[in-house]
A = this chain, B = another copy of it.
Amino acid sequence: MLHEFDLISQIRRQTRPSPRLTVGIGDDAAVLDWSSRPDCMVTVDMLMEGVDFTLDMATPERIGRKALAVNLSDIAAMAGRPVACVVALALPQSGGLELGQRLTNGLLPLAEEFGVALAGGDTNTWQGPLVLSITVLGEPTGRGPVLRSGARPGDWICVTGPLGGSLLGHHLDFTPRVREAQALHAATTLHSLIDLSDGLAADLGHILEESHVGAVLRAESIPISPAAHEMSRTDGRSPLLHALADGEDFELIFTLAPKDGQKLLADLPAGVAVYHIGEITREPGLGLCHADGRHESLAPLGWKHQFTSR
Contact = CB atoms under 8 A, between A and B. Distances in A.
B45 A3 contact: no
A41 B123 CA distance: 19
A135 B42 contact: yes
Contacts of A48: 90, 124, 126, 128, 131
Number of copies: 2
A181 to B, nearest CB: 13
A3 B40 contact: no
Contacts of A87: 44
A31 B289 CA distance: 35
A273 B19 CA distance: 38
A27 to B, nearest CB: 9
Contacts of A41: 29-32
Interface string A116-135: 00011111111111010101
B33 A2 contact: no
Interface residues of A, number: 75
A14 interface: no
Contacts of A119: 42
Given A34-B34, A37-B34, A78-B25, A44 B94 contact: no
A259 interface: no
A245 to B, nearest CB: 14
12 contacts: A23-B145, A28-B74, A29-B43, A31-B40, A31-B145, A32-B42, A35-B39, A51-B124, A86-B135, A94-B308, A123-B305, A128-B131
Interface of A: 1-5, 22-23, 25-26, 28-35, 37-46, 48, 50-51, 74-75, 77-78, 84, 86-90, 93-98, 119-129, 131, 133, 135, 137, 140, 145, 147-148, 194, 206, 300, 304-310
